[in-house]
Structure 1
Amino acid sequence: MAGGRSSERGAGPSPRTRAAIARRLAAASGRMTTAAVAEMDARHPWFSALDAEKRSWITLVAQAGIDGFVRWFSDPDASATTGADVFGTAPRALARAISLQQTVELVRTTIDAVETQLHEVMPRNDRAHLQVAITRYSREVAFAAAEVYARAAEMRGAWDARLEALVVDSVLRGETDETVLSRASTLGWRSTQSVVVVIGADPDRDNALDDVRRLARQRHLDVLAAVQGDRLVVVLGGEALADGDAAVTEATHLVAAFGPGPIVVGPVVEHLVDAARSARAAVSGLRAAVAWPTAPRPVGTDDLLPERALSGDGHARRALATDVYGPLAAVNGDLLDTLTTFLDCGSSMEATARALFVHPNTVRYRLRRIHQVTGFSPTDPRESYVLRVALTLGRLQR
């Protein structure tokens, strides 16, 4: 054991020798900094293209690194002197001005320049000790650089998440002004057409937002997402969202990112400025979807018009009265009478024909016309329910 401790102490210079080398090293530090910056200029064209302010920041970092090496060599066990001190002199903006890869290149260049200077300006007896020391110290600096960029990325990610949540909240509240558009652009939003809001249950897991962003980008869609209470709100944009059916189709690829329960797709709007209309319908649809337990997942808000109307959504009531009942009333009374009788007769062709004193083929023709006019087929159980509610609301409105 004693021999081990003795060999460990003999592995490096004595304290007196170390102090003498450190003094000689400190005297040459200015020359080393100048050589390091000159080497950066020669090796890296992108460094030469930086403006004077950013070059001065990098020069300060290089000088801090070399001075830190001198202090560290004087006492390598001192906890106050670490590789992290190298980047303490640089402003945070430096991490945005140059990439991590470029920082690694600068560290490598600085170490190479210092090693060259050590062989040129330091006495021969000092070089072996300094070579070992610079190898250890460069490792500390490399770890410090990685920590700086990791911390910057973490802070940027946290800020982006807060900013994205603010944008989504503004969309839900109908406050999408130029400021919100600018923030969305900062987050990577590029779509200028076909925007839709999708709302479902929050899956209550940490990577839910990452999942929905990944799935949306695989479909080449712009995406903004946030968790609000127990809901996951997703704003999508892109050419693929041409109409309501296309939007529902695209939303099926995001189902895995949501929690259990209904997923509602709002109507397609033209721009992010108009997304509040899609969000309003989606929120109403999510609230009303419980009344249709067998609804598809996802489901469009237009498919939930009856449930939305019954839950108090005035927009849904007007849509049924105006867009479904209105065209029927405008055509002729035969279609309204036929639809009412058909629904009252339990969707029986023969019973309807007898009640109207017409041939069953006439009933079939009129039912096809109702489908053409309204977009809903009286012979489909679900769509006949939509038509029944539309008849009621249309008569109430009249």
Structure 2
Amino acid sequence: MSQDLYDVLGVSRDADADAIKKAYRRLARQLHPDVNPDPETQERFKEVSRAYEVLSDPEKRRHYDMGGDPFGGAGGFGGAGQGFSFTDIMDAFFGQSAGQAQGRGPRPRVRRGQDALIRLEVELAEAAFGVTRELKVDTAVTCGTCAGDGAAPGSKPVTCETCRGRGEVHQVQRSFLGEIRTMRPCAACRGFGTIIPEPCRECSGDGRVRSRRTLTVKIPPGVDTGTRVQLSGQGEVGPGGGPAGDLYVEMHVADHPTFTRQGTDLLATVTLPMTAAALGTTLELPTLEADLVESGAVTDVETTVPLEIQPGTQSGAETVLHGRGVPSLRGTGRGDLVVRVLVETPTRLDARQEELLRELAALREETHPDGQVHASHKGVFGRLRDAFK
């Protein structure tokens, strides 16, 4: 190479190592074969790489400055004795040594365990007012034989002789770019850096075993289907006896024969004969607390609440009992109990009942009613108009 190496990189003879590296990075980004594959650019890239190989090595640079041949007559890009490697190219493109980027050290044997999820079905009253349940869970626990280290009693892990405890091994390949150095997990120790010569027979060296245990979970008032209760540290124990993950208990609220839940409100439907709807009456409506009394959980709560049916109540009318719904999970107070009334029309009448109804119709001048026809569908503006009215 007859051209001055400093001119090839575009630096002065007194440039320091950082200036030389920056110049090489800039040129490598422009001239790399992946960016400019034409033959002339590739030749230029080889010259820049050879120049950087010499000027980045203090001994070779000193030898070159004294007029010597830094390549020792080997010549040719990638020739014998050349110290340039793929690491330098990675350094040029990513600003750090490829060896440093890949070197992570040995993998830890002790790691945190995974979280676990189980589903629990509860009654509506239990979800509304809270309950304490005992659960049987099947999870990984620390091995009692080896105390989690995976080695048989009386033995212990030893340093891997293949990677000398690093957990990684270097692999060197030659290409037209020079030496390509890569690192991969050590196959002998699977990247741990240590080997267990005598694994524990109980856990096969994993440090944990499966076990069924009983846990007590306290379900707070106000949970609904899909709500998850977190039990910290009650999940799967990690490999090597590592700390356990969390256990999540997901709620599923069973259907209730009387009430339907809607958020914190309860919905119920009461069917009345037309006479009771016309004349009015008072009903004793069961409360959700009545389920707790029936199960024996409590004894001193109201099991019914009076429901006043006003005379002339129409089918579909709703009555709201405030504070009779479900307690709020993340707040104070309770929702409402909304009772919808359905008026039942008799389908079978004896002669006397029919006679009385016809007499009532005559008194109310309803023997031949004209009826009122209403539109079954209204547009958006029609519904807005009715809302404002």
User: TM-score category by the smaller chain?
Assistant: under 0.3
Please give the TM-score of this superposition, normalised by the length of structure 1.
Answer: 0.21
The structure richer in strand per residue is 2
Please give the TM-score of this superposition, normalised by the length of structure 2.
Answer: 0.21
The structure richer in helix per residue is 1
